[in-house]
Amino acid sequence: MKISMCLPDDHQYSIMQRVIDGTLAVDSIEEFNEILEIYPQDALLYRKYADLLLEKSQLNEALIAFDKAAHLFIDRGMNLQAIVAKILQWSIEKPTHEQGLQFHKLLSKEGGQQTPLQRFWANMSYPELVTIMLRLVRIRLFAGDKISCVDDPANEIYFVVSGTLAETLSEDCKVEASKAGVDVEPKLIGPNDIFGNIFPLDRPTSSYTNIVAVTEVELVKIAKPVLSSACKKHPSIERLLHDIYKPENVDKCDRAWQTVRRSTRFGLPTKVEIISQAHIPNSGNQRHTGIAVDLSLGGMCVDLGPIESFADQANLKGQTVRSILDLLNEVAILDLPGKIVWQREQNTEKGTYLLIGICFEPLNVTDRDLLIEYCSGNVGEQNLLWSLWDTMVKPEIQTEGNT
């Protein structure tokens, strides 16, 4: 079976996800600060911002940003991502013993405990955590890169920090599954998943699956001999790993490592009308219709469509605006004042599109509650809204854009 090397089309509505996954490059520190003004509590954006600061050799600022990202990750139960942010922070400036103890205490008390992998990181003692952190090696992959093939020596264990990979079984396993009348599909593995057939640690092992990157991916890995040495010194590390390793699953053509259950929710598209004062005196208000996905209580990013429709009025940054949001429910409309703080053009296969970021003025209690309810609906509610979007709203916006 062929595996698509791109995510679903609807995913591409999300402007913030484009920034995070690298499809929308933001190379300016000033521009990134404008985005963070809209999303000040987004852990993934802060990590991306810290990476940019490090790339630009802004070391003091990078230290602060990696630390901020680590705390935001812990707040979200993303223990592995917090650890990687700390490793990067401490690669710039070596931590004191007290700083290491403080991070371990925070991870143990505030880190996520719901999934086995969360508990793997949060339940380590301080010496165990330090031992593992010192031995983690970061890897970056691009879509299409292969990381593992059937029968390759399994010499490393991998932890997925970000991105998506596809895992396919060996041909022998597919044949056996077919004989049993079982359809075998590629499995998508993503953040907080593990792969690598490393057990038993004291004997050679080989991979029983093929693994290829579907998107840009960040991993951390530990070599099998290094892990074996660490486990001899700290036996509970191996016990924690065995809690999430089920070798009997291999005989059933399934993953030995438990896969993190995740729902695919890239954010709901929302029709928005932007009303601003026209540049030409006495010519009335200027109105533009676009698509917002990245809604937060602080603001949103909006895809306004082809830049050609703006003629000489494409410089919108700094304008005070009203955002009219259609929430597709009985309340239907929110009218939120704010300011355009970020603007970007992006080249796509369909042409050059204009993207903007709006920072809301402080919300009143009613608007705040409505926005929270809209953004945090359950999966069933969101699926219904996606259906309404596909059948009613998206065609309407496309028609408006063609007129």
Tokens 């089309």: give the residue.
9
Of the listed ranges 85-89, 246-250, 335-339, the one predicted with least confidence: 246-250
Looking up tokens 């086995």 gives 116
Return mean pLDDT, the chain: 81
Bigger pLDDT: 161 or 349? 161
What are the structural domain ranges in the chain?
9-113, 137-252, 273-377
Note whether 270 and 291 are within 8 A (CB): yes
Task: Check residues 81 and 371 and name the one with the higher pLDDT.
Answer: 81
Local confidence band at 36 (pLDDT 50, 70, 90 cut-offs): very high
Tens-digit pLDDT profile for residues 278-303: 554 555 678 888 888 778 788 888 88
Kindly tell me if the per-residue pLDDT of 9 is higher than 50. no
Asked whether the beta carbons of 304 and 274 are under 8 A apart, the reply is yes
Under DSSP, is residue 378 helix (H, G, I), strand (E, B) or coil?
Answer: coil
**Average pLDDT in the 127-150 region?**
94
* Confidence check: pLDDT of 389 > 50: no
Residue 364 has pLDDT above 50, yes or no: yes
The secondary structure of residue 40, as a DSSP letter, is T
Apex 223 CA angle, 139 and 162, nearest 5: 30
**When comparing pLDDT for 186 and 387, which is higher?**
186
> What confidence score (pLDDT) does residue 95 get?
95
Which of the four pLDDT bands, split at 50, 70 and 90, describes residue 11? very low
Q: Which two tokens stand for residue 356?
A: 């903007």
356, β-bridge pairs:
302, 343
Per-residue confidence (pLDDT) for residue 156, from 0 to 100:
96
Least confident of 106-110, 219-223, 327-331, 344-348: 327-331
Average confidence (pLDDT) over 150-163: 94
CB under 8 Å to 4, separation ≥6 — which residues?
214
In terms of CATH, what superfamily is 273-377?
A: predicted glycosyltransferase like domains (2.40.10.220)
Decide: 212 and 165 in contact? Cβ < 8 Å: yes
Confidence at residue 269, expressed as pLDDT on a 0 to 100 scale: 67
Domains 9-113 and 137-252 share a fold: no
Instruction: Write down the number of H helices and E strands in the chain.
Output: 14, 14
| One CATH from 3.40.640.10, 3.40.50.1980, 3.40.50.300, 2.60.120.10 for 137-252 | 2.60.120.10
The secondary structure of residue 152, as a DSSP letter, is S
Domain 9-113, what fold? Answer: 1.25.40
Six token digits for residue 226: 């290094």
Strand, coil or helix: 273: strand
The pTM of the full predicted model, rounded to 2 decimals, is: 0.75
Q: Which H or E run contains 282?
A: none
Question: Which value, to the nearest 10 degrees, does the dihedral of the CA atoms of residues 14, 292, 315, 273 take?
Answer: 160
Predicted confidence at residue 1, as pLDDT, reads 38
pLDDT (0 to 100) of residue 268: 59
* Span 183-222, pLDDT tens digits: 667 788 889 899 999 999 999 999 988 999 988 899 999 9
